[in-house]
Structure 1
């Protein structure tokens, strides 16, 4: 019986080791989640909007589980402020933002300049600027344009790039960084 118990423990140990290896070998999104490990399995996002005057400071993940009510709050906060339309935010984007924020070691909340954009808003912005993508991930609620007073756009972009988990863009003459959960890529417009 002791021998049987020992083999169960050994199998569990092997399975845990395999699971850890599988997570580290998973697609790039796991890289952002990796930066969040060791945080007591709690993920928090803190932001404010200069457009609406609203703030959010919420724990959206505890012990390996997203908190649906918290993600609904984030979705509302990410809404298109021009017409109040909303789309469920992709939690992967929030994870990338949170991981980059943690790497910058600041308590300052992000200023959210743009989260979800309705197709109408995206078309209007595209007509005004060549820097707005026709099929922007903002329209899928998978992107955010962010600013921090205490960090330069280069520091923010560097932290986001370190996550190797999505798109990171900066734009000449603009004081914000774009982060999304799409394909890993970087650009300077």
Structure 2
């Protein structure tokens, strides 16, 4: 079996980094280490116009205050409800950017946490591909773009990690990632595709 030359070339554009091991949550803010590998995220929110630049983890330790800031930033933009995110979602984002050599890149957030109320409303509207049991409801999913990075490359970087769900939306040029069960799908209405798994969407 031979790879398409372009796909073969894209595979070699990724930096050889792996998803870090699960981090620890300290009992006290004073237990956060002062030195170690820093994990930084720069996020922009398409719905609210807000931006955040935060170091959320140092070495193996998550920073509680930073996680709280990210939870608030990724709140349901429809009703302002906040939920505690699975910190592995942030590790997933950081590692995707590292794979692409874009650790300083800004992640444009299209959708973060969704309350059950919001998810039901989106499904009822018929204007989105919101799943009934979406990982957004569990604060484990993010829909995103990165300026200057094609969505197909974001998808490939996410898939290379072998973690959670990866949804590719070529028409709208964004990618869904989550820390739920491993699965993948493409949502491209009116376009024939062999590997769509819409029933497994996020």
TM range (shorter): 0.7 to 0.9
Larger helix fraction of residues: 1
Output the CA distance in 2 between the equivalents of 1:33 and 1:187. 25
**1:62-112 deviations in whole A, cap 9, x for unaligned?**
121000000000000110011100100110111111100111112320000
Paired residues for 1:1-189 under 5 Å? 32-33=19-20, 40-106=36-102, 107-127=104-124, 128-129=126-127, 131-189=129-187
Structure 2 unmatched ranges of 5 or more: 1-17, 22-35, 188-202
- Deviation of 1:51 (Å): 1.1
CA contact (8 A) 2:83 2:139 kept: yes
- Tell me which stretches of 4 or more aligned residues in structure 1 moved more than 6 Å: none
CA RMSD across the alignment? 1.4
Query: How has the CA–CA distance of structure 1 residues 93 and 85 changed in structure 2, closer, same or farther, with 3 Å as cutoff?
Result: same
Structure ranking higher on relative contact order (CA contacts 8 Å, 6+ apart): 1
- Deviation of 1:59 (Å): 0.5
In the superposition, the TM-score normalised over structure 1's length comes to: 0.78
Say which SS state the counterpart of residue 163 (structure 2) adopts. Answer: coil
Say which SS state the counterpart of residue 20 (structure 2) adopts. Answer: helix
CA contact (8 A) 1:108 1:150 kept: no
**1:43-63 deviations in whole A, cap 9, x for unaligned?**
111110121111111001112
Say which SS state the counterpart of residue 58 (structure 1) adopts. Answer: strand
Structure 1 unmatched ranges of 5 or more: 1-30, 35-39
CA contact (8 A) 2:106 2:147 kept: no
Tell me how many residue pairs correspond in the alignment.
154
- Deviation of 1:173 (Å): 1.7
